[in-house]
Chain A
Amino acid sequence: MKQPYRNRVELLQGTLDLLILQTLRWGAQHGYGIALAIRANSGDILQVDTGSLYPALHRLERQKLIAAEWKLSENNQRVRVYRLSVAGKKKLAAERSRWAQISQAIAGILGPAGEESEA
């Protein structure tokens, strides 16, 4: 079945990084697994575009926030697996609080407008 495109949300730059880091917090994972996890955990709303995922993974790897190695999967397939580095864990903590600030700020802007429309 084809997924309806209107449900896809364009992710802000930086937000995808946050999601990847957050996903890897539960353990090492390969790219396909990360994409699946994000989709599943967002209730199928956030579809990670592969064309954004791999550049993001490699960017994070280069920034030494995550580390990669080749492993064999359960069904004996060679896969590239990513895990969170120490710097990545710190970054994740910082990004989470920043995200909290942004959403608060955006909520602040949207909040009154929403109330008005309801009134």
Chain B
Amino acid sequence: MKIVVCIKQVPNTDKVRINEATGTLIREGVPSIINPDDMNALEAALALKDQDANVHVAVITMGIPQAEDALREALAMGADEAIHLTDRAFAGSDTWATATVLAAALRKIGDYDLVICGRQAIDGDTAQVGPELAEFLGLPQITYVRELSVENNRVRAKRAVETGYFEMEAPLPALLTVIKDLNKPRMMDIRLIYKAYSDQADYKFWTAQDIGVDLTQIGVSNSPIPPVIFETWIFPPRSFSIKAPISRFT
């Protein structure tokens, strides 16, 4: 069975600091991580591989060159193959364009049985790419997966809703988006870290041309939603007591 896991490298929003003077977020120097929900997606794939050594786990990301760290980390967790989609033409893509690119890449891969995505990214928070990708590829999709199993070429999953869950089933190939309740992602194996950075690592770079994607559907100029910078204003706490000064540590 071939599983493709879609991951995204995002800024660690836990570690974002505030510029005291302007009240806005400081973006520089913020460490990058694999999006948390995507870690659950990867863990789900690796757990299936634990049960059956014939399972092949490929991890794919559309990202700038720096996203390599995310893919190497995935390899160090146990993924078999990493595919890095990187091209100037992808820059500024919104969810439509991103899903278009990923779909083209998946069509190139061809023989996948299961696509697993995280529910949503902590920087965009849209939760759109997974479902869009399923639609572009014509795959049945189950979202908000909190429990899953694969048997007889079908996937069974519990889809979380506010008041409980739906039990759903789909034939393979199918696409799932998963939530953090699904599992606890494993840690990296130090030996796999060295393997991930060695010549033995199965790491590919694909450009727009490699995947044959329609250039009129991708990039900033073709994104229905342009990147909007949301400025976050934090108002410092004001004390009405005469004596207490405002500490810069709070």
Decide whether A and B assemble into one complex. Answer: no
